[in-house]
Amino acid sequence: MPLLQISQLGHPILRQKARAVAQVSNPEIQTLIDDMIQTCADASGLGIAAPQVYQPLRLFILSSKPTPRYPTASSMAPMAMVNPTITERSEETEKDWEGCLSIPGLVGLVTRHKSVTVSFTNRFGEKADLFLEGLAARVFQHEYDHLDGIVFLDRADTKELYTDKEYQRKVREAAD
């Protein structure tokens, strides 16, 4: 499985609305899913959307695990979400830190719904519904935004942006 190149902020694909995946069982889609899982793991990401690997498709990987940026993240097996939708959002929101594989070096505070109920097709072509809360809900919403050409900077207050280096310093100070 080759690692895919990750599109960077400024590339027009990150601002396009992605199109629906017509046939999940297509071997090219299955290979793309495998390659996205590998690319996400290699980049220490919690998720990656198809537009981030130059594919304008409504598909992303959700893959939570502890990382240097998110040391308290829970572990879950990588999950492909094809043609996802949000069917319910909690009224309650929270502001927390986000970064993006397509915007290396920056993190920012972003307000998101604390929980979401979602529908999607899994990689086996089965429809699924899932209730997500906390970090998993945040990552879902972040990746879902990519499918509509939205990046986390669009939702962050520019006064609440940090470089990765300053964010890591802040995390270390909070742990001491």
Lowest mean pLDDT among 79-83, 126-130, 162-166, 168-172: 168-172
Does residue 3 have a pLDDT over 70? yes
| Average pLDDT value over all residues in the chain | 94
What distances in angstroms separate CA 165 from CA 41, 102, 110, 169, one per listed residue? 21, 17, 19, 6
Could you give the count of Cα atoms lying within 13 Å of 2 in the half-sphere of its Cβ? Answer: 5
Tens-place pLDDT, residues 90-108: 999 999 999 999 999 999 9
Does residue 150 have a pLDDT over 70? yes
DSSP letter for each residue of 116-137: EEEEEE-TTS-EEEEEEEHHHH
At 37, list the tokens. 């899982």
pLDDT given for residue 1 in this prediction? 64
Report the predicted TM-score, pTM, of the whole model to 2 decimal places: 0.93
What distances in angstroms separate CA 160 from CA 108, 147, 156, one per listed residue? 6, 24, 7
Superfamily of domain covering 12-91+114-148: Peptide deformylase (3.90.45.10)
Residues labelled catalytic: 143
Tens-place pLDDT, residues 25-68: 999 999 999 999 999 999 989 999 999 999 999 999 999 887 76
CB atoms within 10 A of CB 78: 19
pLDDT given for residue 8 in this prediction? 97
pLDDT given for residue 69 in this prediction? 67
**Res. 71 pLDDT band, cuts 50 70 90:** confident
